[in-house]
A and B are shown apart, each in its own frame.
Chain A
Amino acid sequence: MRTRPTTRVLQYVAVLAYLVFLGFPLLWLISSSLKSPQEFASITPSILPKHVEFSNYSDALTEQGLIRGLGNSLQISIYSTILVLIVALPVSYALARFRSRLRPLTNGWILVSQVFPVILIVIPLFMILRPLHLTNTIPGVVIVYMVWSLPFALWMLQGYVAAVPRELEEAASVDGASRLRTIVSIVMPLLRPGLIATAMFTFISAWNEFFFALVLLQDPQLKTLPLVLARFVGAEGQVQFGPLAAASVLATVPSLVFFAFLQRRLTSGLLSGAVKG
């Protein structure tokens, strides 16, 4: 069936509007990172800077330890993501495939765990981690992020596992494959889009997290990127807008690279034609 020209035009307009909606904040951020303090204080702000200033970038890089913060955030986010995937994959498979009375309970617990506000659990968490010598360490933060992201990751992956036809596993079983072999050779390749989506979610959660890092990390050498960015805000609402915008642009780059690298692998359609209807 051919699409009408009018419909096609409307589709393009909708896509363009969506792109503007998504892209404008980034454009504004980049533009702001190149503005002088005088331009920020202008009563008629312009979208593009009148005079391009790179000093915000040098300030952002030299003053607050941005590079170290980037490194710490990258390290923590990658470790958290890997650990979440290692734990979530078998658990979500079990939840999706095995019928038991515990399943609704487990799912209920996962749901309930999402409604606790961070502020409620941060002090008990701190008291638990301290005797284990895990406060003020990167592994401590990694473990916390892993536990924090796991419930949602399980929810996500469960759905993906459920979408894999059981007939494929049965066929593998008939061919003599063990349960583990079936998961590794049959289920995992089909779950790739789901694993990537879960990885993205976990990575971004860890990358952007502020409060746990604030409380758990006191050593300046271990501060993550959100903590570094917070230093551009002073008392009484004073903000160093230029350096903050520049630091935010630099902070966005690794996320964009991570997404660009993974989104090409977010292919669907792997399952089409896998089983006869």
Chain B
Amino acid sequence: MMKKVMTALLAVGALVTLAACGGNSNDNNSSGSGSSNEKVTLKFQSLAFQKSTVAATKKIVDDWNAANPNIQVEYVQGSWDSVHDQLVTQFQGGTAPDIIHDESADITGFINQGYLADLSPYLSQQTKDAVSQGVWDTTSKDGKIYGAPTLLQSYVVFGNTALLKAAGVNATGDSLSWDDFAADAKKLTKPGKFGLGWGLKSPTATMLNLGLNFDAKYFEGSGQDAKATVGDAELEVPKRIHAMAYDDKSIDPTSLTLGGTDVLPGFYAGKYAMIVAGNYVAQQILSEAPKGFQWEVLPPLKGTSTKQAANPQTLSVPAEGKHIEQSAKFIDFFMKAENLAAVGQGDQLIPSTQAARDAIQKATGGKNGWQQTLASGTELTKAPFQSVDNYPKWKDQIATPAFQEFLANKTDLATLGKKLSDGWGQVNN
């Protein structure tokens, strides 16, 4: 009996080994030199997440394939959670997909390492003109375009309509000043309830993005030569949030320790009358809010301006790709207004082109917060920190703990400024 088992085990082992040696790799299913006339198949790894966005993206691929029999695109589902590690390895091994879906914050490093192709010779003038320069700047270097910006997010204020009405808070207009925002939060604060819940467990991105409201720079220069600059403008947003939490007591201090979307249950339950979160949270509210829950998006927050940092989702092509021109043509097609509007609507994200934003406005009538969400997307621009090589290191090791201590009321504003500034010297050497 045991002999039979051993023989069977050895046979299976030999078969697996033989199969391994004869394994047929699909490293590159494209063929040829990349001339425009031969038939090629391009791998497009999409990170679309919501059902409706996946469907919209697949429709774009189908439409393209129907119109371009010689350039077929194969949809491959990827995941946001692991895309960076996956791409790092695939670039090293030369097996990256022909069309890469990512975000500008992540591709900055890839651009600097020369992994991405310059798309500027291939993108149409129409596409180039449709996106604002501030957004192009987030995906470009030395005048070359390394990613086409598709969708963006901004930080917006969500309000519980019933509680706003009851307190007589009526935020209308093109923008909401930080002073009015703080006053509204105070007005909405009642015993056992807070005017605002703000999930700031990972505070750095929020502080630096909204910091642009007050022209906060945090850095001067770019790359390795960048210098930290932390003054009044940079400390304005943290100072105001701290004052709302500990002087006005209009922010629930425990909410400051939660993740961005962890405040939603409290928002639905009326514990917080308002929350601040990425505009994409609207999608989650639509799918999970209790029946009858009425909500709205307030106008964009304004300091000296309503500017926020743009970190668009991007479509790129590997520098070593065999079909750069064909891949760029597909990206150009993806950038058409109707296509961007379809994927943007699915993910409740802001398209990078005005034409696509207009299409969403028309399709939705501005409902479900779209009116204010689209308005918040008009002043998204590149922030100085997006040109700094060691920003991720500074963010994780210095800024996040420093902001967390400050928001927990353990340090004062001067100490926060000093930590942010001195910490840059520690990580950038």
Question: Interface residues, chain A, CB within 8 Å of chain B?
Answer: 37-38, 40-43, 63-64, 79, 82-83, 85-86, 119, 122-123, 126-127, 130, 132-140, 142-143, 184-185, 188-189, 210-211, 214-215, 218-220, 227, 230-231, 233-238
In the complex, the number of residue pairs spanning A and B with C-beta atoms less than 8 Å apart equals 138
Chain A positions within 8 Å of B50 at CB level: 234
Q: Say yes or no for B171: interface residue by CB 8 A criterion.
A: no
- Would you give the shortest CB distance from A11 to chain B, in whole angstroms? 39
Whether B2 pairs with A230 at a CB distance below 8 angstroms is: no
Q: Say yes or no for B13: interface residue by CB 8 A criterion.
A: yes
Chain B minimum-CB-distance residue to A80: B16
Whether A140 pairs with B77 at a CB distance below 8 angstroms is: no
Q: Say yes or no for B9: interface residue by CB 8 A criterion.
A: yes
- Would you give the shortest CB distance from A73 to chain B, in whole angstroms? 16
- Would you give the shortest CB distance from B277 to chain A, in whole angstroms? 9
CA distance A238 to B282 in the complex (A): 12
Q: Which of the candidate stretches B59-67, B83-91, B109-117, B388-396 sits at the interface with the other chain?
A: B83-91
Contact for B24 among A85, A137, A234, CB less than 8 A: A137
Whether A218 pairs with B13 at a CB distance below 8 angstroms is: no
Given contacts A82-B9, A238-B261, A238-B284, contact A64 B76 (CB under 8 A): no
CA distance A37 to B51 in the complex (A): 15
Chain A positions within 8 Å of B16 at CB level: 79, 82-83, 139, 142
Q: Number of contacting residues on B, CB 8 A? A: 57
Whether B12 pairs with A133 at a CB distance below 8 angstroms is: no
What would be 8 A-B contacts, judged by CB atoms less than 8 Å apart?
A37-B288, A85-B9, A127-B93, A130-B27, A139-B20, A215-B89, A220-B76, A234-B49
CA distance A27 to B291 in the complex (A): 27
CA distance A25 to B234 in the complex (A): 44
Whether A234 pairs with B80 at a CB distance below 8 angstroms is: yes
CA distance A237 to B202 in the complex (A): 11
Q: Say yes or no for B271: interface residue by CB 8 A criterion.
A: yes
Interface of chain A, helix or strand or loop or mixed? helix
CA distance A213 to B92 in the complex (A): 16
Q: Say yes or no for B167: interface residue by CB 8 A criterion.
A: no
- Would you give the shortest CB distance from B100 to chain A, in whole angstroms? 12
CA distance A37 to B284 in the complex (A): 9
CA distance A63 to B80 in the complex (A): 17
Q: Say yes or no for B264: interface residue by CB 8 A criterion.
A: yes
- Would you give the shortest CB distance from B45 to chain A, in whole angstroms? 8
Q: Say yes or no for B259: interface residue by CB 8 A criterion.
A: yes
Q: Say yes or no for B290: interface residue by CB 8 A criterion.
A: yes
Chain A minimum-CB-distance residue to B25: A133
- Would you give the shortest CB distance from A213 to chain B, in whole angstroms? 10
Whether A139 pairs with B85 at a CB distance below 8 angstroms is: no
CA distance A122 to B27 in the complex (A): 17
By Cβ-Cβ distance, the 9 closest A-B pairs, closest first, are A139-B20, A234-B49, A137-B23, A37-B288, A133-B25, A43-B269, A43-B265, A235-B80, A41-B288
CA distance A87 to B95 in the complex (A): 31
Interface residues of B in 119-163 (CB under 8 A from A): 153
Whether A238 pairs with B49 at a CB distance below 8 angstroms is: yes
- Would you give the shortest CB distance from A116 to chain B, in whole angstroms? 16
Q: Given contact pairs A37-B288, A82-B9, A139-B16, enumerate 6 new A-B contacts (beta carbons under 8 Å).
A: A38-B288, A40-B288, A132-B23, A210-B82, A233-B80, A238-B280
CA distance A127 to B27 in the complex (A): 12
- Would you give the shortest CB distance from B5 to chain A, in whole angstroms? 9
Whether B26 pairs with A43 at a CB distance below 8 angstroms is: no
Interface residues of B in 255-306 (CB under 8 A from A): 259-261, 264-266, 268-269, 271, 278, 280, 284, 287-291
Chain B minimum-CB-distance residue to A45: B265
Whether B92 pairs with A126 at a CB distance below 8 angstroms is: yes
Whether A41 pairs with B25 at a CB distance below 8 angstroms is: no
CA distance A91 to B364 in the complex (A): 68
CA distance A83 to B222 in the complex (A): 52
CA distance A96 to B27 in the complex (A): 42
Whether A41 pairs with B268 at a CB distance below 8 angstroms is: yes
Whether B20 pairs with A143 at a CB distance below 8 angstroms is: yes
CA distance A79 to B280 in the complex (A): 43
Whether A136 pairs with B25 at a CB distance below 8 angstroms is: yes
Chain B positions within 8 Å of A210 at CB level: 82
Q: Say yes or no for B247: interface residue by CB 8 A criterion.
A: no
Contact for A137 among B20, B265, B287, CB less than 8 A: B20
